[in-house]
Amino acid sequence: MERVSSVLVDQLDKVAVAGTLYRPVARLLGVSGFGVNAYTGEQPGDEVIEPHDETGMGSGHHEELYVVLTGHAQFELDGKALDAPAGALVFARPEQHRAAKALAADTTVLVIGGKPGAAGPPSPFEFWYLATPAYDAGDYERAYAIAAEGLEVHPDNPSLNYNLACYAALAGRGEDAQRHLEIAFAGNPETREWAAGDSDLASLDI
């Protein structure tokens, strides 16, 4: 099969399986890091996601994220009804029973799956991105506390430590800032150049 790098949802094949339309995605794009496919219910009342959990012999034992791309779906998750218009995200753990039907014509749901823990911890950038609102608000202690959670899984990451140095310096914690800078400098020499002109670090003797 010829792989592509981009495809429109409307261009995906439609394969009638188990009362729904299966739309292969992973094979077409050559995705191997996670499972991804789509399913469509063409008319209201059509099944979009068949009733199942991810513990059976035919399953990947995945946790799954369902993204409603078009239309409007109603999910059932462990017997609880969940309204899911276009743009909704629904998450199911492997053992949870799930199903979905279309409430509107042309309801397509993208399914992204993977084994729990396979993706590893969050990337380093996620921790300082989450700290940005506190930083912008001038709450540097809070920004430091949020980003410092990343040290548990990325203790030597240069960029994370550089950002922590900035938060610490602005919070008046010079020793902590210097410690984080030393780790950043050792891991990425370019951070020395960043620090030289960074007003966040003006209180330090760099």
Task: Give the tens place of pLDDT for each residue, 106-144.
Answer: 999 999 999 999 888 999 999 999 999 999 999 999 999
Q: From 114, 143, 168, give the residue that closes a domain.
A: 114
CATH number at residue 46: 2.60.120.10
Same domain, 134 and 104: no
Same domain, 106 and 81: yes
0.75 exceeded by pTM = yes
150 touches 157 (CB < 8 A): yes
Mean pLDDT of all residues in 148-165: 98
Give the chain's radius of gyration (CA, Å).
23
- Domain membership of residue 3 (yes or no) is no
pLDDT higher than threshold 90 for residue 63: yes
Same domain, 86 and 25: yes
The whole domain housing 106 covers 9-114
Same domain, 102 and 67: yes
Q: Please tell me the predicted confidence (pLDDT) of residue 138.
A: 98
pLDDT higher than threshold 70 for residue 177: yes
Q: Please tell me the predicted confidence (pLDDT) of residue 206.
A: 81
pLDDT higher than threshold 80 for residue 1: no
Q: What is the mean pLDDT of the chain?
A: 96
Total number of domains constituting the chain = 2
CATH number at residue 185: 1.25.40.10
> Which residues on adjacent β-strands are paired with residue 101?
47, 74
pLDDT higher than threshold 80 for residue 74: yes
Number of helices followed by number of strands (H, E) in the chain:
6, 10
- Domain membership of residue 60 (yes or no) is yes
Backbone CA torsion sign across 125, 131, 137, 142: negative
Q: From 84, 114, 144, give the residue that closes a domain.
A: 114
Range name among 15-19, 161-165, 188-192 with the lowest pLDDT average:
15-19
- Domain membership of residue 4 (yes or no) is no
